[in-house]
Structure 1
Amino acid sequence: MNELLIPLLIVIFGIISLEIGMAAPILEIIAGIMGVNFFQLSDIPWMDFIANFGILGLMFFAGLEVDKDVLRRNVGKGTLLGLTTYLIPFTAISSASFILLPYDLRTSTLIGISLSTTSVALVYPILKDLKLLNSEVGQTIFTGSVLVDVLSMISLTIIFGSVTHWTIIFLVLTILFMYHAPKIGSILFKRYKGNLAEIELKFLFFILISLIFFSDRVGVEKAILAFILGFLFSEILEEHEEITEKLRGIVFGFMSPIFFFKAGSLMKFSEMGIRAVILMILFLLIAFIAKYFSARLVFSRLAPGWGKWSKLVGAIFNFRLTFGLISALFGLQNGILTNEIYTAIVGTVIMASLISSIIIKTSKKD
């Protein structure tokens, strides 16, 4: 029954997103929340694999569609925006967790990392939906969000990770793989163009799935690797638009909705006791306000006339989904976070995304 309900809910909420004018990923998250809490949908074996592929495909397209010239012009502004919108919330959340709650330094630091992220996987489709992706404003926002994700990943690796000689070896192998994959792809795409076996798509599936292998061994978030790979493939795939369109249909029509549905299904009301709810409200207040106002303050000063976008930017940077959940799960599995804190973080991450989507919808009307 689960196998039927999941795609049915995704289709229904996809239609709702079109009718009410809200971004589809947000409605797919709500579908996941509804599915697990009201229909008691349990995990099914294929869901994790497809969800993983969904985020890889999504980030591959994000890299593919970056306008290099616009990005180059705005990289300085994006860097300033990213640094500010990571460091200010991280300091505020970690300090509040350490002083007010109080948790030990390791726990407080991990809470700070988990709730200071910005999900590139959500920022990309939102900017695309708003038709801002290839504008000066959009590329600055996107560059900043990528940097926030990278800073979150580096913080987690430096503070809690362990670097061995195997890490270095696999890092070198990852770089070599990502450098040569586009060259091999270019040869295959030219030789087997228009074949019925769809060798081009099979090759792209292979390299995307390979990123999971390298990501686990190097400790680099797979979404970042997929984004870089998409960036490297962009010039090659400009000459093969039919491949891009085929992959787009698979990723946006099937894979990425499963990823967002899976993210929503992590918010289980049955696991949210009174203390977890109180923690979630506290985390949400501190995290949302710190991120919202730091983003607004910096963005409005980056260029003349950009102040009118600051409300939108404050909301966009509060999408914490991907790495926020990964960091929280890491803490739970390694005994740094309790089940209570983990549940509160998951609730905060998802609620912040839902609140942000409402702000964006009202901003569009303005």
Structure 2
Amino acid sequence: MAVISAVVAHHLRVSIALVEICVGVMAAAVAGYLGKPGALGSNLEWLKFLAASGAVLLTFLAGAELEPEVIRKKLKEVTVVGLVGFFAPFFGCAAVAYYLLDWNLQASLLCGVALSTTSMAVVYAVMLETGLNKTEFGKGILGACFVNDLGTVIALGLLFAPFTYKTAVFIGVTTFVLAILPATSRWLTRQYAYRTAAIRTKWVILLLFSLGALALWSGSEAVLPAYLMGMVLAEFSNGDAFWMRRLRTLTVGFLTPFYFIRAGTFVSLPALVSAPILFLVLLGGKVISKIFGLYPFIGLFRRRRDERWYYTLLMSTGLTFGTISALYGFSHNIVTQDQYSFLVAAVIASAVVPTLIAGLAFLPRHLLPKPERPPEAVPREDGLSDEG
């Protein structure tokens, strides 16, 4: 299924995570139709472990994509846009679930968290494709995405983790580890990197799994320290693009397919077909609350209409952390399988619809980097090209 997803994603030019979720949904539907809903083994312990490992490493990579220099230069913009991008859909979607859909308070809050996200994966892919990642406009969007998703991860931990002495231990140990992490990682690299097989990868995975285990012991979620670790090590990670590329290959090539395909297998197609209005209400709640919350504030930093709409619509996307939050709620019996199905369907649609509208109707072409002319195409004084 992972290989099929990769081929389909290549031809459709969409996020691989999006296709893997959809393939998981279809596989579960086929298994259910054949009367063997458990045939995919979604709840086998080894598969759950690999899926959880994929979520943790992917979350770390998302945090590591941050460019600290961007945050420092555009601190006001990314902070304002990122926080509004989190709070507007969080309160808006929680209210929609509680008052319109009659979900209980816990499920409504989980809905607000799951639909508050912005998809760093989708936005980053769009930035690379258009070349906007090299512009101050694109870097501002990526910085705002980071702040938005940081709010989502923190809210997931604070709202649904019981605060006990275990929580205090988790916060204290995590704070200490994050404080010494950059210096110890640089020392380890100087002493042992390039001579000891993949020691940096083993070091990062050791800390991710250790803090993740501590988070689960305290009743929190393992992705919270992973995101913070990625953020703290962003400068260290970006200093070696080759190492980051290998870590990304390990994560995306092996681990995350287990996570996203497994997440898709829990979606109930019969539930979606029986009540499509609920799906549309949740999707509308996310996108509309994002637009009404963000558009006025983005106007403080971008004056042109196409820039404001493009910025707003890309901030309205969601995928990875929305799926992680929804699966957390389903795994901890905060939402039912039907509610989970509607949430994941809304998350998937939010990864596609705003992105398409932004690219087709509001792409700020005046900001696109001009392609460099290849050397062989530059005319010479004698009227011939170098190739001629």
Match of 1:10 among 2, 5, 8: 5
- Once residues 248 and 113 of structure 1 are traced to their aligned partners in structure 2, the CA distance between those partners, rounded to angstroms, is 26
Contact 1:181 1:207 survives alignment (8 Å): no
**Identity %, equivalent residues:** 26
> Is the Cα contact below 8 Å between 1:300 and 1:309 reproduced in 2?
no
Q: Distance in 2 between the 1:77 and 1:116 partners?
A: 18
* One-letter amino acid of the counterpart of residue 22, structure 2: I
Between the aligned partners of 2:76 and 2:216, the Cα distance in structure 1 is 31
8 Å CA contact 1:266, 1:346 repeated in 2? no
Structure 2 counterpart of 1:60, one-letter code: F
Out of 327, 337, 340, the residue aligned to residue 342 of structure 1 is 340
Distance 1:125 1:45, change over 3 A: farther
Deviations 1:141-181 (A, max 9, x none): 23333333333344455554421112111211112222333
For residue 189 of structure 1, what is the aligned residue in structure 2?
A: 189
Partner in structure 2 of residue 69 of structure 1: 69
- Provide the secondary structure at the position in 1 that maps to 2:14: coil
Q: For residues 161 and 14 of structure 2, what CA distance do their matches in structure 1 show? A: 38
Give the aligned partner of residue 289 of structure 2.
290
* More off after superposition, 84-93 vs 147-156: 147-156
Q: Where do residues 1-366 of structure 1 align in structure 2 (5 Å cutoff)?
A: 6-13=1-8, 17-38=9-30, 41-43=40-42, 45-120=45-120, 122-133=122-133, 135-195=135-195, 197-218=197-218, 221-237=221-237, 240-272=240-272, 274-275=274-275, 277-305=276-304, 307-332=305-330, 336-362=334-360
What secondary structure does 2:74 align onto? helix
C-alpha deviation, 1:81, in angstroms: 1.1
Tell whether the 8 Å contact from 2:326 to 2:343 is kept in structure 1 after alignment. Answer: yes
CA distance in 2, matches of 1:68, 1:75: 10
What do residues 291-336 of structure 1 show as CA deviations (whole Å, max 9, x unaligned)?
234333432432334x423333333333333443444445445655
**2:233 and 2:156 mapped to 1: Cα distance?**
28
What's the secondary structure of 2:151's corresponding residue?
helix
Q: What TM-score does the superposition give when structure 2 sets the normalisation length?
A: 0.76
Mapped to 1, the partners of 2:151 and 2:316 lie a distance apart of: 15
User: How far did residue 269 of structure 1 move?
Assistant: 1.2
Contact 1:294-1:314 at 8 Å conserved across structures: no
2:113/2:322 contact within 8 Å kept: yes
Q: Structure 1 counterpart of 2:245, which letter?
A: E
CA contact (8 A) 2:121 2:320 kept: yes
Farther off after superposition, 331-340 or 277-286: 331-340
Distance 1:290 1:263 in 2: 26
What does the per-residue CA deviation read over 1:11-39, in whole Å, with 9 as the maximum and x for residues that have no partner?
Answer: 322xxx33343343333333333333346
* Paired letter, 1:71: I
Please give the secondary structure, in 2, of the residue aligned with 1:170.
helix
Deviates more, 1:71-80 or 1:50-59: 50-59
Partners in 2 of 1:32 and 1:84 — Cα distance? 33
Q: Which amino acid aligns with 2:4?
A: L
The change in CA–CA distance for 1:158 and 1:189 in structure 2 (over 3 A counts) is closer
How many residue pairs match? The answer is 356
Please report how far the alpha carbon of residue 9 of structure 1 lies from its aligned counterpart in structure 2 after TM superposition: 1.6
Q: Is the 8 A contact 1:58 1:121 kept in 2?
A: no
Give me the whole-angstrom Cα distance separating, in 2, the residues matched to 1:239 and 1:113: 33
Q: Do the aligned residues in 2 keep the contact of 1:55 with 1:256 (CA within 8 Å)?
A: yes
What is the TM-score of this pair, normalised by structure 1? Answer: 0.80
Asked if the contact 1:23/1:357 (under 8 Å) is kept, the reply is no
Q: Who is 1:3 aligned against?
A: none
Which structure 1 segments of 5+ residues have no match?
A: 1-5
Question: Counterpart of 1:267 in 2: which secondary structure?
Answer: coil
Rounded Cα–Cα distance in structure 2 between residues aligned with 1:58 and 1:343: 22
Distance across 2 between alignment mates of 1:308 and 1:170: 45
State which structure, 1 or 2, has the greater radius of gyration over its C-alpha atoms: 2
Q: Distance in 2 between the 1:71 and 1:130 partners?
A: 21
Q: Secondary structure at the match of 1:180?
A: helix
Q: Where does structure 2 lack aligned partners over 5 or more consecutive residues?
A: 33-39, 366-388
The structure that is helix-richer by fraction is 1
Indicate the SS of the match to 2:17.
Answer: helix
